[in-house]
Structure 1
Amino acid sequence: MTPADMAALHGRCFTTPRPWSAAEIAALQADPFCFCLQRDGGFLIGRVVAGEAELLTLAVAPEARRQGLGRALLTGFLAESARRGAEQAFLEVTAENDPALALYAAGGFAQAGRRRGYYRRADGSALDALVLARAVSADDLRLT
């Protein structure tokens, strides 16, 4: 998947937060701390710095949802994060994204914080972000 393909898919998946451009995705791919996982119908971009992993985005095509693709990408994120020496993993998700919250809870993430009014919808209204976290361990390497 090229950055343009990824941006097109990201645009199909997100309105809040706003979708990322091909240039933004390409810049992240060029960052030595970042990694990208791709599967047919989806991708994930993560970053590991100083023992902390951050799931930057996970996008699954609407027609490919509820088939285990998100779970596979999340499992891959945890394994790659462990390989890169992460001890903690974090992510941020809109408080109203129930499918994503269920996926992350199933992956062992729990709420570590709330950023009130962090996101803005297209109409200007505010939306909270939840910060989720979990430990990363050698066990995560065995899941892939």
Structure 2
Amino acid sequence: MTAPAEQAREQVALREMRWWDIEPVLELERELFPYDAWSPALFWSELARARGPHATRRYLVAENGEGRVVGYGGLAAAGGTGDVQTIAAARDHWGTGLGARLLTALLTAATDFECREVLLEVRVDNDRARRLYERFGFEAVGLRRGYYQPGNADALVMRRPADPAPDPAPGPAHDPATDPAPEHQGTTTHG
């Protein structure tokens, strides 16, 4: 890996997307997807579902050491299925592993939302993204003709099972009555 790529990787932090990130995310969105960029209203709508105890979305931004948004991604969860809604890395961060970091974080969110599977759509002509998804175990399961508008580009639908819960270690029968009380019980609130 080249020194600039290593430097870019080290200086990028992932964090939850907030309303003040919408404008810089839109700038990147328009640069990367000029014909089918999301609207501000769509990002606002998605972020509205990413907070609180009944959140069904997880949106992240990747920010470099100077505070510039260099990537973002989002996941929706419903009925045991996660759907990667969007994922992108700035061109000057291609090849740094940022896309893989964002996808890993979204798959972790799918696990947090107790999803059994994760789906996504990718433009059929986006070979770079397709290779990334295939490395993560996504497989093609369908085609949506004319999905990306106004360019009328087709989308490949890809799927992978969510990470299964680890099996308990084999051993003697477990008696919960003899366990000490845990420090904290419950689930993490999303948002």
TM-score, L = length of structure 1: 0.87
Runs of 4+ in 1 over 3 A off after TM superposition: none
Please give the secondary structure, in 1, of the residue aligned with 2:37.
Answer: coil
Partner of 1:2, secondary structure, is helix
**Deviation readout 1:85-111 (Å, 9 max, x if unpaired):** 001000001100000001100111000
Q: Which has the larger share of strand?
A: 1
**Letter aligned with residue 39 of structure 1:** A
- 1:22 maps to which residue? 40
Q: Which runs of 5+ in 1 are unaligned?
A: none
Report whether the alignment pairs 1:44 with 2:56: no
Between the aligned partners of 2:76 and 2:159, the Cα distance in structure 1 is 14
The Cα offsets for residues 55-111 of structure 1, whole Å up to 9 and x where unpaired, read as 000011111111000000001111111011001000001100000001100111000
Match of 1:132 in 2: 158
Match status 1:10 vs 2:29: yes
Q: For residues 149 and 42 of structure 2, what CA distance do their matches in structure 1 show?
A: 19
User: Is the 8 Å Cα contact of residues 95 and 128 (structure 1) preserved in structure 2?
Assistant: yes
Determine the structure 1 residue equivalent to 2:144: 115
Query: Pairwise CA RMSD of aligned residues?
Result: 1.7
What residue is the counterpart of 1:76 in the other structure? Answer: 105
Greater fraction of residues in helix: 1
Unpaired segments ≥5 residues, structure 2: 1-19, 50-54, 64-69, 167-191
Q: Highest Rg: 1 or 2?
A: 2
Q: How many residues align?
A: 136
TM-score of the superposed pair, with normalisation by structure 2: 0.66
Shift of 1:112: 0.7
